[in-house]
Amino acid sequence: MRQNTNTLYQIILHRYVTTVKSHRLRTTWLSRFRHQVRLLLLCVYINTHNLHFYILFSFGEDILVNLPPVEVKENDVCVKMIAAPINPSDINRIEGVYPVRPPVPAVGGYEGVGEVYAVGSKVNGFSPGDWVIPSPPSSGTWQTYVVKEESVWHKIDKACPMEYAATITVNPLTALRMLEDFVVLNSGDSVVQNGATSIVGQCVIQLARLRGISTINLIRDRAGSDEAREQLKALGADEVFSESQLNVKNVKSLLVNLPEPALGFNCVGGNAASLVLKYLREGGTMVTYGGMSKKPITVSTTSFIFKDLALRGFWLQSWLSMGKVKECREMIDYLLGLARDGKLKYETELVPFDEFPVGLDKALGKLGRQPKQVITF
C-alpha cells in the first residue's frame, strides 16, 4: 500500500558553522530520506580521522525539498505527528556527543504524540484517529508523518492535553524512576536536587509531594530567580535556595523542620553537585542524570570515608533497553493520568514547525530561560 498525502516538504536548515578541530573533513547532505514528510535536515561533517560526527547548525534560510511517498507495509502504522519536543538529548544527538547516535541520514526527535492516519492490512490494535506515542521512545519524531511497525506505538487517552502527551516520556518518566529505583523513600522523608527549574526537577517536586516526600531545591543565581522560586513553591517545593544563599559553612543549618535527605539528584555538575552532596545524610546517595555545566563532579575524601556517600548514575535509555516495554507503558499511563487531572504540571511553549529555528534557539538557551519547546505540525 502506498501512502498518498498532499505535498509535504523536507526542510534543510543552514547558515552558520560550528568550529570543528580536525584534519580531514567531508560534507554529507542528508538528502536520501524515503519518507514523504517534512523534517529537519542537517548538514553533517564527518571527521574521517576519528569517525566522530559534527553537526553544523544553521537556522536562517529554509530550503524545501519534495520527497517521494513511503510504503505502509502490512504490520505498519502511519502516524500523522501532532507535536514533538526539543529535548537537550536531541541536541546532543545532533552534536554527535550523545552515547547513542542514529545512523545518518537521520531524523531528529525522540518522543512525541501523533494521530493514526492509516494502518497496514494486518494491524488490529489501532484505528485511524487514535492518539499514539512511540513507547519506548523512538528516533524520528521531527517529521509530519512517521511509518513504523505496530509494536512501536502505544495508544493513549485523547483527553490528555496534547503538550503533555508529547513530552511525558523522557522527563517525567526519568523523575519517576529516580524516585523509585535507588533509595526506599517513605512519607516524611526528603530529597535534594539541583536544576530544580528543569522539567525533571519540576516533576520530582510534584511526584515527591504526592508521596508525602519533601524537596529541597537548588537553583542558579540569575535574572528571574525570585520568580522561579515562587513558581517552584507553587508546585509544592518545600525549600528553594539559590546557590549564593548556600555560601555558608553548614548548609544543613538552613533546614528548619526537614530531615536530612537520603537521596539527591544532580543534572548540573561542578559546584552545584557539591552542594547536593553537602545536604545528604550519612549513607546518602546522589544520582546524576545530566551535566548541564559540563563541569566534573568533585567529591571530597571526607564525603566518602566519614559520610559513606554513594554516587550513582541514571540514563533512561539504558533502563528502557532492559525489555521494560510493559512497565514503561503502565507508568506512562499513570503520568498521563496525573497530567490530565492537573496533578502534574510544567510549562511548555508550542512552536509551529515553520518556526522551528526560533524554537531551537530557545531550546539552546540563546534567548535566556525558556519553557520546554514543543513543535506542532
Per-residue model confidence as pLDDT tens digits over 85-105: 999 999 888 888 888 888 877
What is the length of the chain?
377
Q: 110 an active-site residue? A: no
Say yes or no to pLDDT of 22 above 70. no
Residue 72 pLDDT > 70, yes or no? Answer: yes
Check residue 328 and give its pLDDT. Answer: 95
Terminal CA-CA length for the chain: 24
pLDDT score of 74 more than 80:
yes
Task: Please give the backbone phi and psi of residue 162, each rounded to the nearest 5 degrees, phi first.
Answer: -55, -40
What ranges make up the beta strands (E) of the chain?
A: 9-14, 25-29, 40-41, 43-47, 53-56, 61-66, 76-85, 113-119, 131-134, 145-149, 153-155, 190-193, 214-219, 239-242, 263-266, 285-288, 310-313, 348-352, 372-376
In the chain, which residues fall in CATH 3.40.50.720?
Answer: 171-317
C-alpha cell at 354: 515553520
Query: Is residue 4 predicted with pLDDT exceeding 60?
Result: no
How far is 193 from 204, CA to CA, in rounded Å?
9
State the catalytic residue, choosing from 98, 145, 279, 334.
98
pLDDT of residue 106: 78
What long-range pairs does 363-367 form, CB within 8 A, spacing at least 24? 363/86, 363/88, 363/91, 364/91
Q: At 127, list the grid cell.
A: 484505528
| Alpha-carbon radius of gyration of the chain | 22
For residue range 296-337, what is the model confidence (pLDDT) as tens digits? 999 999 999 999 999 999 999 999 888 889 999 999 999 999
Q: Where are the alpha helices (DSSP H) in 236-281?
A: 270-279
Q: What is the DSSP string of 81-94?
A: EEEEE--HHHHHHH
Query: Can you name the CATH fold of 9-168?
Result: Quinone Oxidoreductase; Chain A, domain 1 (3.90.180)
When the pLDDT of each residue in the chain is averaged and rounded to a whole number, the result is: 83
- Cα–Cα distance between 368 and 377 in angstroms, integer? 25
- List every span in the chain annotated with CATH 3.90.180.10: 9-168
Question: What confidence score (pLDDT) does residue 107 get?
Answer: 83
Mean of pLDDT values over 70-97: 93
**This prediction's pTM:** 0.82
**Please, which pLDDT band fits residue 42 given cuts at 50, 70 and 90?**
very low
d(CA 367, CA 140): 26
Give me the pLDDT at residue 53, please: 27
Please give the pLDDT value at position 84.
Answer: 98
Q: Is 336 strand, coil or helix?
A: helix
Dihedral over alpha carbons 252, 257, 260, 266 (to 10 degrees): -80
Looking at CATH, the fold of the domain delimited by 171-317 is given as: Rossmann fold (3.40.50)
